[in-house]
Structure 1
């Protein structure tokens, strides 16, 4: 994993793309061809319940760089109008989320990547609902969701400072 600061010139080339990933049973497979916009930990109680953990860890992937290459994920979790949570129909792994009105990216559960050991949250949200012992090394922390106006600066900072996967051996 790389921790150095990155210049705008090298941000597109140092992500070791494409990435592959999939659910636990392997019936749904993914291909990622664009660098993430942001790595986030969400501490909301909904993510705690759906991930059976203290928080969900996700990467905001630009939609053109996200592809389901095999299998057909189904909507699970809450079936509301705002967020659509996609799961493997067989093993029920929560794989990714698409949010209404935010078609430019997909929130991929980072652990769906075949190689995800490098993912470190750059921002954390809903810390007002976090478990008292849950901590992350995120550089940006928000009690709820940040204002939309905060995202461009965070995305720019993540492009320069965010963790990268190490070169494949």
Structure 2
């Protein structure tokens, strides 16, 4: 497994939208919710929570897809419809980047997994922490400190 080299770039499948991260993730995760299953066409989505100041779209104009009008905004390439990243209303300090959209994914391992109550029965991940839904808000500080301390 490699280490994350910064800056790290990535983009959608067709190449019309490109992004760059200039900050290490504060957490990495696998989400097993049925919404993520349906948007990825797979058993879960993989994401890296990147501090907002360390994230930028460098080419193209992503559009909101998935759920509309919700507090969660999923951004996609308008041409190939690759799911690139997610932002939450009122949570401006990080962006959830789909880790598989980065050009180099060899460094990625999910540190935690969420919504295991909805996971497919045959799925396993190497995540250190597992939650039936989401961690309690007061747990995030400890989780981010533990994740960042592991290097």
The answer to whether TM tops 0.5 is yes
Which structure 2 residues correspond to residues 144-163 of structure 1 after superposition, within 5 A?
A: 144-161=133-150
Deviation at 1:160, TM superposition (A): 1.7
Tell which structure's C-alpha radius of gyration is larger. Answer: 1
Which residue number in structure 2 is paired with residue 54 of structure 1?
Answer: 43
Flag the structure with higher strand content.
Answer: 2
TM-score normalised to structure 2 length = 0.97
Aligned equivalents of 1:59, 1:115: Cα separation in 2: 13
Task: Please say if 1:106 is aligned against 2:95.
Answer: yes
Deviation at 1:161, TM superposition (A): 1.8
Which of 54, 57, 67 lines up with 1:78 in the alignment? 67
Task: Please say if 1:68 is aligned against 2:57.
Answer: yes
TM-score normalised to structure 1 length = 0.86
How many aligned positions are there?
151
Deviation at 1:118, TM superposition (A): 2.0
Task: Please say if 1:16 is aligned against 2:20.
Answer: no
Name structure 1 gaps, 5 residues minimum: 3-13, 163-169
Deviation at 1:51, TM superposition (A): 0.6
CA RMSD of superposed structures (Å): 1.1
